[in-house]
Chains A and B, each alone.
Chain A
Amino acid sequence: MRAPTDLGAPTTPGSPTPSSGGRKQRSGRGGWRSSGVMLLVMGFLILVPAGFVLLAAFSETVPRPGSISLDLTVGNFAVLGEPGVTRATLNSLLIATLSTVLALAIGGFLAFTTARTNIPFKGLVYLFGLMPLFLPSYVGALAWSILGSPAAGLLNIGLRDLGLTGFVDIYSIPGVVMVMAVFYAPYAFLLIHSSMSLMNPDLEDASAVHGGSQWRTLRTVTFPLAMPAIVGSALLIFTHVLENFPVAQVLASPGQIDTLPTFIYRLMNASPSRGNEASSVAILLVVFILVITWTQRVLLSRRAYTTVSGKGVKARKVDLGHLRWPLFVVATGYFLIAIALPILALFLTAMRTSPYMSSFRDLTAPGALDASSFGTVARSDVFLTAAGNSVVVALLSAAGGTVLAFLVAYIVYRTRARARGLLEGVSMVPLAIPAIVLGIGLLWTWLVMPIPLYGTLWVMVIAFLAVQMPQGLRGIAASIQSTDKDLEDSAVLHGAHRARAITAITVPLMKVGLTSTFLILLMLSMRELTVPLFLYTNDTRILSIAIFDQFENGGALQQAAAMSLIYCLIMFVLSCLPRLLGSRGGLNNH
């Protein structure tokens, strides 16, 4: 009922769950036992790799298996004084701020129009808001570099065909901001949509009854009530953009615009590698993200935002009047930029026989287009192996991630276990560590471990479990918080064992929350590029890596484009899975 939407739902970690006040203590005895075990598991998954990164930041040499040095130094932090770091920091903050504002505007607009207005084709507009989730940001960036590069970009070629000078330059801060915003807007859309459509109309009715105009009601009641969703998605988008590597690498680097993640990547790839300094820049990024998280907590903890009550409510609708169609056109514009143009660009690139094109008229020449690249790619070993690996890894890590997140969420929100605050804190740590750095930490960890998992798909699964823990936990947390505890307790009162009460009552009640968390994790695993970048071996290439490899190492844009399209198709098919699982029963529980 609530949620793929609950991705990143703002939680207030550590604070007691609302209305838990007078309840009696649960699982008082097992307080340390269950939470301690989970704490160990999460610590092992998350803190050990993070520890390697921290160690690297303070070491003379990169902590590699077999040569872990404990000669500590703060010398690596001298790199922070380099003008390049200052520039990269400013660029990162600027790009993240602008992208967040733009993404919120897009997401908020789509959410408001679909949840609360009579915009035409509401279902379609809802889809527009959702669809970019299925286009990995790396693929989107690649497509936009094909569309908007200054000399050979398709848009510029088109403009020149029309007799205009091409003026689109995607390799610029506005270009990067646009692509980031477009691809992160669904996060804002889903959260705000959920908040707006579940809003109890009483307060708005009260405003209207007391003479407030529609606009005034929206401004003083509706939007403030949606504040947790807006601030929550802002935080989520800001941190994601700040640590986004693929888009920055594909679109910012060519314009000589460094961001912190591309700067870290550059330091890692310098000759000789400057991994220690890269780690110290990473610490800077971590500090930024911690500050943002803390700010959000302070902002949201001051007031109560209870809008969802047990009663079924129907949110008020706003009549857009003569703005209905113009606003629909705006929404369609978003669809064009986020989905239609990128897909068309990839499609054209996959079909073109020559990489060079001076005018769209070239396409009419005989033999200019050839669809064989799809068949060649789809039959290639690289693709088949990578596709199989991707599906296996995504399914396993989504299933494992959902179970882990449920266990953690249960301990955090349903027990008084001593370590629950700590457990939640540890689970959220990956959010504060850029994927690019965590990837390296995970590589070192699993190379050093005596368990021979490195080089198998399991190491990818474990990496994804670690990296996606925050998203999993947030999804489940929102669901578990909105599920009444009394039913499970009644079962226990009537003699059921706690475990049975959980599996027979709480889990079925949370079915939608669990399925949607599974879906989110599945999509995230399918999309993830940065973390496996350091972990893959010949046998464990996954699709995102195969595409990156085709382009970044092979320069084979045509194959990369063809594979990207097939990749998106596979993601769509996979996204149907939770529905198939969910429809087997239980949906009617709600």
Chain B
Amino acid sequence: MINRRLAMAAVATSAAIALAGCGGSGSATTSGGAAAKAAGGDELLAMPKVETTDGLVIDGEQVADKALFEAAKTDKVNLYSASGKESEDLTVARFKAETGIDIELTRMPTNKLAERVLSEQGAGQLKAGVVRVTDPRVAEDFAAKGVYTAYEPPSFAELSKADNVVFNKGQYLTAYYSAYVFGYNSQLVKGADVPKKWEDLADPKWQGKLGVVNAGAGGTVTALAHMHITEFGEDYLAKLGALKPRIFDTTSVQLEALARGEIAVATLGFNSTYGAEVAGAPIKLVVPEDGISGSFNLMGLTPEGAKSPAAKVFVNWTMSKAGQKFAAAQGFVPARPGLEPQKTGEYQLPAADSDAFKLYTPEDAVKFGKSDVATWNKAFNYVG
């Protein structure tokens, strides 16, 4: 008899939901998501000229020779990334649009990704062809444990000219730099209230309305903590901490909270926030005049990737002018030297070698990483 009651419950409620659901799907559109649309078309950046008669040539630059390109067409890139989901979706869609090669993304926060990659690697079951992380210490650990294998994309000579781009003879590369800034909900914060400098974030008016991601969550946020400490002192962090900000585990959840108006201002990764803004979230970014925190977005080919033509094309493309330009268009700072400045929508980020760009180097990470996080935790009374 209970079975019958159970079934009644199921039927009654499923009917209610089904009715609601049907009402919903009636007017469905076939659009495939804002990211794919924005990346695949000319919205973010005009599509480059792609020639495929002799391998893959994009804007006159050879990205893959004929043999590699032909082999890659029937292959698939398996990308593991700790880079922001929004921007990684854009990149993946753009790569697919420019090269026609299939790609699959597994996105996880840096630490979870590291645990996963090292476990898979230890068991000889690493599925990824390319692994992208935001913490130099994690990349170095990957290199030491054989997750990364040396590989030279066609632009290798060019890349070698810059500092901090090629590591361990090409075992891993800086794909681009991430910029960390701040932003606000454009429906809640207007006119004179809009913060312009880092100092403005410490204003008591943001009591309970500020959002931050905990400094231990990944390379980009540790980099930001380091910049705050070295440029403005521990006092600055203490002032932010005194505002009782909402502390998040991931940037994505924080972005959603900012869009909903749960918080009014937040320290933000430039690229992921820009992606959300393009997708229609009521968020505006600020490129503060008193410094932008820069951190590494590192990428390497795995032994599995060395066997995958598609994975190789992905690395080639990422380091090509077209790939770098697209990265800039969505809010990264290109790693490849000698490129023209590229606007990101209405915003202009400084070049990698400019003074305003405070880069958190792998040496900084090794030297200060632990103490920076500890200082940050203390200032925000955070346990982690």
Q: Residues on A close to B: CB < 8 A? A: 1-5, 62, 64-67, 82-84, 87-88, 123, 126-127, 130-131, 134, 149-152, 253-254, 256, 258, 263, 266-273, 275, 339, 343, 347, 350-351, 353-358, 370-376, 378-380, 443-444, 447-448, 452, 454-455, 512, 515-516, 519, 534, 537-538, 549, 551-557, 562, 565-566, 568-569, 572-573, 575-576, 578-579, 582, 587
Contacts of B12 in A (CB 8 A): 127
Look across to chain B and name the residue whose beta carbon is closest to the beta carbon of A452. B125
Apart from A356-B282, A375-B25, A587-B3, 17 more pairs, CB < 8 Å: A3-B2, A66-B121, A254-B248, A271-B216, A275-B115, A339-B13, A343-B17, A371-B26, A447-B120, A447-B122, A537-B106, A555-B253, A556-B256, A568-B17, A569-B18, A578-B6, A579-B7
> How far does the Cβ of B282 sit from chain A's closest Cβ, in whole Å?
5
Are B85 and A374 in contact, with the CB atoms below 8 A?
Answer: no
Say whether chain A's binding surface is mostly helix, strand, loop, or mixed: helix
- In the complex, whether B9 has a CB less than 8 A from a CB of chain A is yes
Say whether chain B's binding surface is mostly helix, strand, loop, or mixed: helix
Are B259 and A553 in contact, with the CB atoms below 8 A?
Answer: no
Are B28 and A374 in contact, with the CB atoms below 8 A?
Answer: yes
Are A553 and B123 in contact, with the CB atoms below 8 A?
Answer: no
Are A269 and B24 in contact, with the CB atoms below 8 A?
Answer: no
Q: A82-B383, A455-B125 are in contact. Are A572 and B29 (CB under 8 A)?
A: no
Contacts of A267 in B (CB 8 A): 384
Are B111 and A273 in contact, with the CB atoms below 8 A?
Answer: yes
Most interface-central of B25, B86, B217 (chain A CB within 10 A): B25
A355 to B256: give the CA distance in the assembly, Å. 8
Are B249 and A355 in contact, with the CB atoms below 8 A?
Answer: no
B2's contact among A4, A268, A270, A555, by CB below 8 Å, is which?
A: A4
- In the complex, whether B247 has a CB less than 8 A from a CB of chain A is yes
Are B120 and A354 in contact, with the CB atoms below 8 A?
Answer: no
Contacts of B263 in A (CB 8 A): 151
Are B125 and A515 in contact, with the CB atoms below 8 A?
Answer: no
Q: A270-B111, A554-B85 are in contact. Are A565 and B17 (CB under 8 A)?
A: yes
Contacts of B104 in A (CB 8 A): 538
- In the complex, whether B170 has a CB less than 8 A from a CB of chain A is no
- In the complex, whether B351 has a CB less than 8 A from a CB of chain A is no
A475 to B9: give the CA distance in the assembly, Å. 21
A82 to B137: give the CA distance in the assembly, Å. 26
Are A354 and B280 in contact, with the CB atoms below 8 A?
Answer: yes
Are B109 and A269 in contact, with the CB atoms below 8 A?
Answer: yes
Contacts of B118 in A (CB 8 A): 64
A-B contact pairs, 13 of them (CB 8 A): A88-B383, A123-B8, A130-B9, A152-B260, A269-B216, A269-B217, A272-B138, A355-B282, A534-B115, A538-B127, A553-B252, A555-B259, A557-B256
Contacts of A565 in B (CB 8 A): 17, 20-21
Are A378 and B17 in contact, with the CB atoms below 8 A?
Answer: no
Are A553 and B107 in contact, with the CB atoms below 8 A?
Answer: yes
Contacts of A4 in B (CB 8 A): 2, 6
Are A516 and B2 in contact, with the CB atoms below 8 A?
Answer: yes
Contacts of B3 in A (CB 8 A): 512, 515-516, 578-579, 582, 587
